[in-house]
Structure 1
Amino acid sequence: MTKPVNEREIVLAVLMEVTENGRHSHIVLKEVLDKYQYMEKRERSFITRVTEGTLEHLIEIDYILDQFSKVKVKKMKPVIRNLLRSAVYQLKYMDRIPDRAVCSESVRLAVKKGFSGLKGYVNGVLRNIARELDQVEYPKEPTAALSVRYSCPEWIVRMWRDQYGDEVTETMLRDFQEEKPTAVRCCLNRISPEELKIRLENEGVHVQRHPYLPYAFEISGYDYLERLESFREGLFTVQDVSSMLVGEAADPKAGDLVIDVCAAPGGKALHAAEKIFMKEKGAAAAAPGDSAAKESGSATEEDGVVPEEVGSAPGHVEARDLTEYKVDLIRENISRSGLTNISAACMDASVPDRESFGKADIVIADLPCSGLGVMGRKPELRYRASKESVESLSKLQREILSCVQNYVKPGGTLIYSTCTVTREENMDNVQWFLREYPEFTFDDIGEKLCPELKKSMTEKGCIQLLPGVHKADGFFIARFRRSVRP
């Protein structure tokens, strides 16, 4: 008796949603894994690996298919196209699965999906590939060779070769295809890093400290995040260390007003709110005569929290984003965090909010971008991006920067960041901004970085993180300070 739905059928459904309907793979996969929690760990692991692997190797897979099929990939029926893609991934990258099983299961799935007339075609193509896979010849021209080998569009490979050189380009491309642990941030308002490490290990999780930040960890070996009691209690949040470095660069103080203009799902805003909370808590604990506060166990400098003087008013973070859907995501994460010094609002970052002019101590502008620095976690981004979209996004970033710089008070800080590695969206925009708004100058970001990262600064106020070169996603951060004098 066969199961009503099997792993390969679920993989096909996810691939159809991503490649044909334009949805994001990480969102669809999460929906699927939530729905099929009752499946065994190995079954869910199979679904995740084949889905992500197929998308990561899509250009290479299509290249292979075009060598063996008379009907080219672009001309295939969508169901057959994605069924064959996932099968080729299994044949090439999953040695433990017998070739005959991949072929027979693919034929069975084609029949189940109503394509019994194509079962001979599916069987023939896959058996030929299984026999001759090791004999496939790859392109010789350097850009084409890297494009096929690492499944990255040629225009991106060419751009990176021009900007970073061949060695760094291949390092980045290779890194995107490597399996990585999950990066998490310890929520210091609830637990210390040492205590969190023990809790996770007691839950059977493998925990490794991240070298860049004392409260960052890499975890692996767990079955499902929601099954971890420590996750359900909000003791940590999933966040790449590159994103955490935005909070380090912002460095909010007790009493600060922080506006995060494109905040969803809220990781950076919550990090800023946590920093403010911990500094105000530390300041209260250090206040003379406040013995009760001293006994409460406030954070220490070893945790990265330095006590400050308590301001006349508590600090606050306002996390904004464009749609109610995104704002709801922020509110869900705020609720889970237990922090009360943060709120969320639905606002368009490209439309001036005059009530905020000159009010913010810190503005965080982590703006919409091509996302080419996070292709390892969102592999479909590389296939959807284009030269034109990079240019369009660069213009949007300038439009938003022109708007939100108004919110920074004299002497205040503006953080500009993206999760991409294109010059147009990063240093070109920084240079443009400094020309357009001379009242802003670079603010030294080096003091906020660990020694390993200081040598990677592109300018006094900027750092470009590169996948594989750094132990982080591809990410860009620039810090500016507004002059005190008008």
Structure 2
Amino acid sequence: MLAETLEDGEFSHVVVNRTFSKEKLEYRDRAFVSRLYLGVLERLIFLDHCINRVSSVNTVKMRPVILNILRCGAYQLMFMDSVPDHAAINESALLTKKRGFSRLVPFVNGVLRSIQREGAGIVKESMPENVRLSVPKWIYELTVAGFGRKRAKAFFEGALEADKPLCIRLNTINVPEDEIIRSLEAQGCTVVPADESGGCHYLRLSGVLTDLEAYRRGWFSVQDISSVKAALTGCRELEKTGINAPLIVDVCAAPGGKSICAAQEFPYAHVYSRDLSPAKTALIDENIKRLGITNIRSQVFDAKVKDPLMEGRADMVIADLPCSGIGVIGKKPDIKFRLRKKDLEGLVGLQRQILEAVHTYVKKGGILLYSTCTVNIGENAENVKWFMREHPFELISEEQILEGRGDGFYIAVLKRI
């Protein structure tokens, strides 16, 4: 799995889904594999530092298969208390032999035993902050420049949190909240209300998500609390207009979370939930069908292209745009190694191209909700400043979420004047 991501460039969530669809593992085994795979990606820079600290061969010169075995072994030794040290070392040696590198078993054994012996000392010794937080130096410096060392450190530490609970939003249109929670608890789940509610709870599973009766019946949706907050922030401003049946356009909607929030907040709304391809709108359709939402219409539409039929009609446009994704590295740690600094300029250009098209849909006095799941000021606050210089909109509110259990998120609400 690591080779598929680090060498072949596969997205981590794609690798996980494909692996578990092929390999019929028990839930406990799935949880272990997922934790180890994602954990190694999360801590990759730190793990390589530790390996280099005790190895006679630098990681850049190692065979990828041996390096990945060492990374997995080191992660288990340093971050998985449930795995005995001897088991982590022995299994790594066996895997090395199984992969046809019997002559390297002593090397693997030696490196891991050194980490076992010196691990605590390595953690305590001086090292660059970005290495300790396992984030590329340029991403760390970009975030510190934008928000200061304290907030940046809190964000990156939160991204490393292991065993994160799932955030869900209860669908209480037809079923009361207590009945949904009882159903989840009856199937062994732990359900805790989120601090900033909006109908959100943190869910700890005891089995596969899709096996839950409450999931099959559409009694909840899976959505990060920061994403929910973005949608609800726009909806609260829209409520002030007094319009009971607004027209809402979500221009980059898949898998549909913000569209669904808006549709639930405004039962008489007409919500157009758009994305670039049939595959993406299929995700929207799947979710609205499961949840029983009837006031959303999915559409295949390129957000970069202006839709003349929608100009001046929307009470609210939701523009949660493609971005660098730095805010979701806690869920998709491979972003840290996929993203390049030079990519940011192109993303800003894409965001501005989309805003140029979709702002025309907002009627006078209407709302534009602009959000991203990144912490890069260039894609966020600076984009909003540019937009207001070019177009007749005023900023109602903006927020950059860094701390807390949710994703890093930027939320700006603008009003057409």
1:462 to 398, 402, 406: 398
Q: Which residue of 2 aligns with 1:346?
A: 300
* Residues 1:244 and 2:228 aligned together: yes
How big is the shift at 1:239?
0.4
Contact residue 408 and residue 482 of structure 1 kept, 8 A: yes
Structure with max Cα Rg: 1
Instruction: Tell me the amino acid that sits aligned with residue 217 of structure 1.
Output: H
How big is the shift at 1:428?
0.4
Q: Which residue of 1 aligns with 2:143?
A: 160
Q: Deviations over 1:299-336 (max 9, x none)?
A: xxxxxxxxxxxxxxxx3211111222222222221221
Contact residue 87 and residue 102 of structure 1 kept, 8 A: yes
Contact residue 440 and residue 482 of structure 1 kept, 8 A: yes
- Give the Cα separation in 1 of the matches to 2:123 and 2:81: 20
- Give the Cα separation in 2 of the matches to 1:232 and 1:378: 25
* Residues 1:171 and 2:154 aligned together: yes
Q: Which residue of 1 aligns with 2:168?
A: 184
Contact residue 186 and residue 237 of structure 1 kept, 8 A: yes
How big is the shift at 1:34?
4.0
* Residues 1:390 and 2:324 aligned together: no
1:479 alignment partner, SS class = strand
- Give the Cα separation in 1 of the matches to 2:329 and 2:44: 13
Tell me how large the CA RMSD over aligned residues is. 2.0
- Give the Cα separation in 1 of the matches to 2:23 and 2:222: 21
- Give the Cα separation in 2 of the matches to 1:190 and 1:87: 49
Larger deviation, residues 99-108 vs 412-421: 99-108
1:44 to 30, 39, 45: 30
Contact residue 186 and residue 192 of structure 1 kept, 8 A: no
Contact residue 169 and residue 198 of structure 2 kept, 8 A: no
Instruction: Tell me the amino acid that sits aligned with residue 69 of structure 2.
Output: L
Instruction: Tell me the amino acid that sits aligned with residue 210 of structure 2.
Output: E
How big is the shift at 1:136?
2.7
How big is the shift at 1:233?
1.0
1:191 alignment partner, SS class = coil
Contact residue 91 and residue 99 of structure 1 kept, 8 A: yes
How big is the shift at 1:117?
4.0
Contact residue 273 and residue 297 of structure 2 kept, 8 A: yes
Specify whether residues 250 and 96 from structure 1 end up closer, same or farther in structure 2 by C-alpha distance, changes over 3 A only: closer
Contact residue 188 and residue 274 of structure 1 kept, 8 A: no
TM-score using structure 1 length: 0.80
Q: Which residue of 2 aligns with 1:201?
A: 185
Instruction: Tell me the amino acid that sits aligned with residue 149 of structure 2.
Output: D
Specify whether residues 103 and 471 from structure 1 end up closer, same or farther in structure 2 by C-alpha distance, changes over 3 A only: closer
Contact residue 193 and residue 214 of structure 1 kept, 8 A: no
1:424 alignment partner, SS class = helix
How big is the shift at 1:273?
1.8
1:358 alignment partner, SS class = coil
Specify whether residues 250 and 207 from structure 1 end up closer, same or farther in structure 2 by C-alpha distance, changes over 3 A only: same
Matches within 5 A, 1:58-457: 58-136=44-122, 140=126, 145-179=128-162, 180-251=164-235, 253-277=243-267, 280=268, 315-437=269-391, 439-443=392-396
How big is the shift at 1:354?
1.8
- Give the Cα separation in 2 of the matches to 1:117 and 1:473: 44
Contact residue 138 and residue 145 of structure 1 kept, 8 A: no
Specify whether residues 51 and 137 from structure 1 end up closer, same or farther in structure 2 by C-alpha distance, changes over 3 A only: closer
Specify whether residues 100 and 203 from structure 1 end up closer, same or farther in structure 2 by C-alpha distance, changes over 3 A only: closer
How big is the shift at 1:171?
1.3
2:184 alignment partner, SS class = helix
Contact residue 184 and residue 191 of structure 2 kept, 8 A: yes
- Give the Cα separation in 2 of the matches to 1:321 and 1:115: 48
1:61 alignment partner, SS class = helix
In structure 1, stretches of 5+ residues that fail to align are 1-13, 281-314, 444-460
Specify whether residues 479 and 87 from structure 1 end up closer, same or farther in structure 2 by C-alpha distance, changes over 3 A only: same
How big is the shift at 1:203?
2.3
- Give the Cα separation in 2 of the matches to 1:64 and 1:211: 37
Contact residue 258 and residue 361 of structure 1 kept, 8 A: yes
Matched-pair identity in %: 41
Q: Deviations over 1:186-208 (max 9, x none)?
A: 11333233332222222221111
Q: Deviations over 1:347-375 (max 9, x none)?
A: 21112222221222211100011111111
Contact residue 357 and residue 408 of structure 1 kept, 8 A: yes
Q: Which residue of 2 aligns with 1:15?
A: 2
